[in-house]
């Protein structure tokens, strides 16, 4: 109870500290702009929920949305998707780039073709040519994940991070935020990050191997939905559910179930629908010739625990499988 109260308080502080910086909302417009939303990957509740925000803002702003997404989190799959979207000549593209370097030139090609590009969720090495970058405060989210670990394992010990792939701006920032906070705390021994390629089965294997090598791991931070799914399965399989604490980013239905059954102790839910709606607002404003400011917008998050998962705020923070 005490721990849960502390985590709920932490959630409130984090949400307040990470208050959303608003991009000015646009007036309804009759132009019917064509906007393509390119997800990081198809079938991910994070992007499904983002799509709900995209659709709501498009209805308000006067835009028609087409959604595209590769079957895997893979830049070599996303690049041809982007090429074919450029060839279809939309007015604007909202894209979550799979890799901050590989997608740089293809995104510049879209902009050179006269298409307004808004980066949502993830970004590229040089985001300046884009209309705006709209994403969670991922570094702050990583630090908040470590704060949650501290509450859950106050005596300290070994902590592991499982992420997707290096070069993905969102999860890299979460890893850095977590690592910087963990390395400052002498009670904790940060044993590093391992990469799952966004495959739950690989995340599961990573955790199984890590637990057999380091029997004294006290907590694992999983930096996104699919890593968290695999980490939860691995800890459960090892018979360590509840003993080795899990803090996961994202709040898909599988993760919420793992929280409710005590396998996962805290989830950092992003605000994907807000990212999507702000993305459309920014694209439409740019198409109307307005200056979009600020260029970089950071959205907040809610920390979900057993304590608040069924509250109105907890329910609202959970991701959707359809709009
Ligand atoms: O965590 C989100 C997203 O923010 C990240 O960039 C990739 O993974 C997710 O889509 C969750 O699967």
Q: At what angle do helices 138-152 and 169-183 cross, to 10 degrees?
A: 40
The count of domains in the chain is 2
**Residue, of 16 and 154, whose pLDDT is higher:** 154
Q: Is 281 in the pocket of ligand 1 (CB under 6 A)?
A: no
- Residue 9: count other Cβ atoms within 10 Å of its Cβ: 12
Query: Residues 321, 45: contact at Cβ < 8 Å?
Result: yes
Task: List all residues 6 or more positions away from 84 whose beta carbon is below 8 Å from its beta carbon.
Answer: none
Q: Distance from the CA of 123 to the center of ligand 1, in angstroms?
A: 12
Interatomic CA distance for residues 130 and 206, integer angstroms: 36
- DSSP assignment of 29-92: -SS-EEEEEE-SSTT-HHHHHHHHHHHHHHHHHTEEEEEE--SSS-HHHHHHHHHHHHHT--SE
Structure tokens at 72: 């895997």
Atom index in ligand 1 nearest the CA of residue 226 equals: 12
Q: Is 44 in the pocket of ligand 1 (CB under 6 A)?
A: yes
Q: Which domain holds residue 252?
A: 138-269
Whether residues 145 and 255 share a domain: the answer is yes
316 in a structural domain: no
Would you give the distance in Å from CA 161 to the centre of its chain? 15
Three-state SS at 117: strand
- Give the residue, out of 37, 45, 46, with the most ligand 1 atoms within 8 A of its beta carbon, to mutate for a pocket test: 46
315 in a structural domain: no
Q: Whose CA is nearest to atom 7 of ligand 1?
A: 224
Start-to-end CA span in the chain (Å) = 34
190-227 confidence digits (pLDDT tens): 999 999 999 999 999 999 999 999 999 999 999 999 99
Interatomic CA distance for residues 33 and 55, integer angstroms: 13
Query: In the predicted model, is pLDDT for residue 45 greater than 50?
Result: yes
- Residue 295: count other Cβ atoms within 10 Å of its Cβ: 16
Atom index in ligand 1 nearest the CA of residue 122 equals: 6
Whether residues 290 and 211 share a domain: the answer is no
Q: Distance from the CA of 285 to the center of ligand 1, in angstroms?
A: 26
Q: Is the peptide bond before 35 cis (omega within 30 degrees of 0)?
A: no
Tell me the average pLDDT across 42-59: 97
Interatomic CA distance for residues 227 and 247, integer angstroms: 11
This prediction's pTM: 0.91
Query: Residues 136, 170: contact at Cβ < 8 Å?
Result: yes
Read off the pLDDT band of 14 (50, 70, 90): very low
Whether residues 182 and 293 share a domain: the answer is no
40 in a structural domain: yes
Query: Residues 103, 124: contact at Cβ < 8 Å?
Result: yes
Tell me the average pLDDT across 161-168: 98
257-312 confidence digits (pLDDT tens): 999 999 999 999 999 999 999 999 999 999 999 999 999 999 999 999 999 999 99
Whether residues 292 and 243 share a domain: the answer is no
**Tell me, what's the pLDDT at 23?**
46
> In this structure, are strands 296-299 and 132-136 parallel, antiparallel, or unpaired?
parallel
180 in a structural domain: yes
Q: At what angle do helices 200-213 and 225-237 cross, to 10 degrees?
A: 50
Nearest in space to 47 (alpha carbons), one of 74, 21, 76, 67: 67
Read off the pLDDT band of 29 (50, 70, 90): low
Look-up: residue for tokens 């590769």? 70
210 in a structural domain: yes
Backbone dihedral angles phi then psi of residue 295, each to the nearest 5 degrees: -70, -35
Query: In the predicted model, is pLDDT for residue 234 greater than 60?
Result: yes
For residue 50, give the CATH number of its domain.
3.40.50.2300
115-140 confidence digits (pLDDT tens): 999 999 999 999 999 999 999 999 99
């Amino acid at each position: 109870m005490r721990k849960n109260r502390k985590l709920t308080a932490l959630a409130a502080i984090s949400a307040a500290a990470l208050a959303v910086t608003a991009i000015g909302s646009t007036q309804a417009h009759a132009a019917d702009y064509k906007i393509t939303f390119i997800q990081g990957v198809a079938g991910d509740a994070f992007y499904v929920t983002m799509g709900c925000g995209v659709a709501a803002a498009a209805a308000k702003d006067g835009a028609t949305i087409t959604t595209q997404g590769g079957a895997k989190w893979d830049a070599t799959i996303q690049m041809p998707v982007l090429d074919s979207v450029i060839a279809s000549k939309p007015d604007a593209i909202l894209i979550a780039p799979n890799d901050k370097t590989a997608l740089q030139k293809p995104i510049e090609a879209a902009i050179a073709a006269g298409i307004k590009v808004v980066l949502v969720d993830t970004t590229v090495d040089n985001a300046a040519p884009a209309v705006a970058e709209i994403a969670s405060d991922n570094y702050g989210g990583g630090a908040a994940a470590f704060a949650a670990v501290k509450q859950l394992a106050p005596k300290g010990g070994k902590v592991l991070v499982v992420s997707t792939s290096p070069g993905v701006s969102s999860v890299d920032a979460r890893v850095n935020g977590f690592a910087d906070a963990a390395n400052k705390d002498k009670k904790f021994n940060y044993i590093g990050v391992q990469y799952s390629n966004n495959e739950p089965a690989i995340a599961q294997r990573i955790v199984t191997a890590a637990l057999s090598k380091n029997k004294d791991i006290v907590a694992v931070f999983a930096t996104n939905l699919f890593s968290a799914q695999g980490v939860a399965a691995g800890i459960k399989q090892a018979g360590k559910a509840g003993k080795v604490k899990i803090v996961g980013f994202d709040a898909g239905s599988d993760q919420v179930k793992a929280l409710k059954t005590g396998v996962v102790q805290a989830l950092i839910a992003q605000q994907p629908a807000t990212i999507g709606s702000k993305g459309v607002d920014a694209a439409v404003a740019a198409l109307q010739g307005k200056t979009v400011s600020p260029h970089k917008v950071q959205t907040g998050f809610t920390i979900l625990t057993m304590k608040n998962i069924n509250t109105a705020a907890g329910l609202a923070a959970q991701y959707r499988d359809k709009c």
